[in-house]
Chain A
Amino acid sequence: MKNQLAKLFMLSQKVNRQHIQVVFMLLTLVLFVLGASAPDDAGVLPRR
């Protein structure tokens, strides 16, 4: 258990500021694309 916690701590130290920025930037772009676009795959209707 202690070993696993230590591994988790090591992993969290590897997540630096840039990784977080990348995640936020990708999330922003995904939301932008979903909000700005209007493709329709008839998701609510039974497909062909």
Chain B
Amino acid sequence: MILLVAILAGLAAGLFLALIQKRSWTVPPLKQAWLVVVAFIPQFINSYLPATRGRLSNDWAAAGLIFSQILLLVFCWFNRQVPGVWLLALGLVCNMVVIALNGGFMPISPQTAGRLAAPDILARIPIGERFGYKDILLLPDQTRLAWLSDILLPPRGFPYQVAFSPGDVCIAAGAFWCLASQGKTPDTNRSERLKGT
């Protein structure tokens, strides 16, 4: 949800910049987009498809998550020239490393999870069990690279409470940059300006 907001904000910023620069908004040239579709399939099965959602064993779900993130990293390599993609890749690597080091799921502490779920429900989830679709409930001292896990929260009282990781912040920033830059590198912008003069 918060990441989709980053995409919409990036799109709006890109269109606004195109408007004030009096030129048409161009699409960032993304290569090998099919990799993203294939990468999303395991996560679609594990987290989105109602018939299979949450029914996969922990091993399959974890393997699917890692497989999916490796494919997304390959996609980033093919698109490394697109502005913002290095930030997307940085966020992806941060998430992938912390997930891989903690049993294939994103760690979340009981304290952070306490802001999201009702206390009686949380009390019934043992430490080390899955929390949601991609997360695992772990104490901070049991978590490897805890600073890369889902440790961030919006301010109290914010209508939509969600835990997110520093990697998620990089991904949101990368998606925003990719769209706001209108698919142009600073060099192409400079050469266009020179052509105009």
**Which residues of A are interface residues toward B (Cβ below 8 A)?**
18, 21-22, 24-26, 28-48
**Which residues of B are interface residues toward A (Cβ below 8 A)?**
1-4, 6-7, 11, 27-28, 30, 33, 36-37, 39-40, 43, 53-54, 68-69, 72, 75, 88, 91-92, 95, 99, 106, 108, 113-119, 121, 131-135, 150, 160-165, 167-168, 171-172, 175, 178-179
Tell whether, in the assembled complex, residue B131 and residue A46 are in contact, meaning their CB atoms are under 8 Å apart: no
Enumerate 13 A-B pairs (CB-CB under 8 Å) in ascending A order.
A25-B30, A28-B36, A30-B4, A36-B69, A36-B88, A38-B95, A38-B165, A39-B1, A39-B164, A40-B132, A40-B162, A45-B116, A48-B114
Tell whether, in the assembled complex, residue B72 and residue A32 are in contact, meaning their CB atoms are under 8 Å apart: yes
Hey, which chain A residues are within 8 Å of B132, CB to CB?
Answer: 40-45
Contact of B150 among A30, A35, A36, A39 (CB under 8 A): A39
With A25-B28, A48-B161 as contacts: A32 and B168 at CB distance below 8 Å: no
Min distance, Cβ B126 to any Cβ of chain A, angstroms: 14
Tell whether, in the assembled complex, residue B108 and residue A33 are in contact, meaning their CB atoms are under 8 Å apart: no
Secondary structure class of chain A's binding surface, majority of residues: helix
Tell whether, in the assembled complex, residue A41 and residue B1 are in contact, meaning their CB atoms are under 8 Å apart: yes
Contact of B116 among A28, A30, A31, A42 (CB under 8 A): A42
- Of chain A, the residue at the smallest CB distance from B92 is A36
CA A43 – CA B131 in complex, angstroms?
9
Other A-B pairs beyond A36-B72, A41-B1, A41-B162, 10, CB < 8 Å: A32-B88, A33-B3, A37-B95, A37-B167, A38-B164, A38-B168, A40-B108, A40-B132, A41-B132, A48-B161
